[in-house]
Amino acid sequence: MDHFLYKDGVLHAEDVPVPEIAAAVGTPFYVYSTATLLRHFQLFDDALEGMEHLVCYAMKAASNQAILKTLAQAGAGMDVVSAGEYMRAKAAGVPGDKIVFSGVGKTASEIRLALEGGIRQFNVESEPEMEVLNATALSMGVVAPITIRVNPDVDAKTHAKIATGKSENKFGIPISRAREVYALAAGMEALDVIGIDVHIGSQLTELEPFELAYQKVAELTEQLRADGHNIRRLDLGGGLGIPYARDNQAPPLPSDYGALVKRTLGHLGCEIEIEPGRLIAGNAGIMVSEVIYVKSGEDRDFLIIDGAMNDLIRPAMYEAYHDIIPVVEPDAGIDQVKFDIVGPVCESGDTFAKGRAMPPVASGELVAFRSAGAYGAVMSSEYNSRPLIPEVLVHNDQFAVIRPRPTFDEMINRDTIPSWM
């Protein structure tokens, strides 16, 4: 569910007409719904009720300060994967003891930054990282809390570029070597081994891969406890998918996921952490674009819009589907037409959809890309010297620009000319 609905024939973001935002900020732009962000966070929090737990938002999905602050005020922790994300979380008011540091390539300087500023735990991905973490903590006279990410070799049944739990993926240590690596960690003076971390992929639309992975984690927990390790926290990652298309293939609900966690891991008495990103932010945002031209080709019509692959890269990178709808509600029963929906960037890859059936739209009209709140603005760029597009947050009948569109002068003035020129 989201809060982008037609009212009086016009698409609204909560109680704000989308054309009103377009008139104020220009197109294209992203707009997020506070109500949807909070509802999705609460669904996860409620799903784990009765277990000691923390929902850590995977801020890689959408990391604007206003989004982070909205979720932090609701009680969310943060999952970060870089020094920049750590600093963003801290700037949004998230305390260090609610920040989890993930990622395969943490540098010594990033580790030091997190140890100085406070950290809930590091999710360690390899023995070399463990050694650097131990040495850094020793040099600072502190102890670093860690989980070790295990790779359960489970097929997440998702897009190859966002699967992370198979043996050929770069993430974690093979679960077959876990006891050996945990023994190594236990011998390191500046590490406190508190638990296990697992994350098998993103946009999962079935519960079975989670169940297979969590059964392996449960077995490993009991083995490690028998080996003398005090395993008291399980970080289960994220990955639950969202419905991008309007069909009947909806992914499982957070409540179904929570029931699975309780069934497979509840007997262990561990604190549970989960790191949803897409499910919290994905359907909480849309991208709005204006039609520039409708162009007739040899055997197809092209809908050329002012949004481009640099604004929303997912279709070009992952062949991802987004529902694209007119901002003005079409008449009931109107005949649909087929368009290739493309942007103005000079690459054939700047294509959002091919042969997409939708109501007819004309130059100057607005269209909205649904489910664009996750991995949209955060993955955008200024390719073709196109300015980053504004981000807008709505709350009931109010809206505010939370990242403005830079001017061309601001973009150009970031560059510097060498003294010899």
What are the strands, taking DSSP E only, across 300-397? 301-305, 324-326, 337-342, 351-358, 366-369, 391-395
Q: Is 56 a catalytic residue?
A: no
Helices marked H in 177-309 — which ranges?
A: 178-186, 208-226, 254-265, 278-281
The strand pairing partners of 5, in sequence order, are: 12
Dihedral angle over CA of 281, 284, 288, 294, nearest 10: 90
Question: Distance between CA 84 and CA 105 in Å, rounded?
Answer: 14
Catalytic residue among 226, 346, 417, 421: 346
Q: Which of 279, 281, 283, 280 is nearest to 245 (CA)?
A: 283
**Smallest Cα–Cα separation from 329: which of 29, 31, 33, 7?**
7
CB 349 within 8 A of CB 271: no
Q: Contact, 80 vs 61, CB < 8 A?
A: no
First to last CA, the chain: 56
Mapped onto helix, strand or coil, the DSSP state of residue 33 is strand
At 272, which helix (H) or strand (E)? strand 271-274
Which residues sit opposite 302 in a β-bridge?
Answer: 295, 340
List, by residue number, the catalytic residues. 346
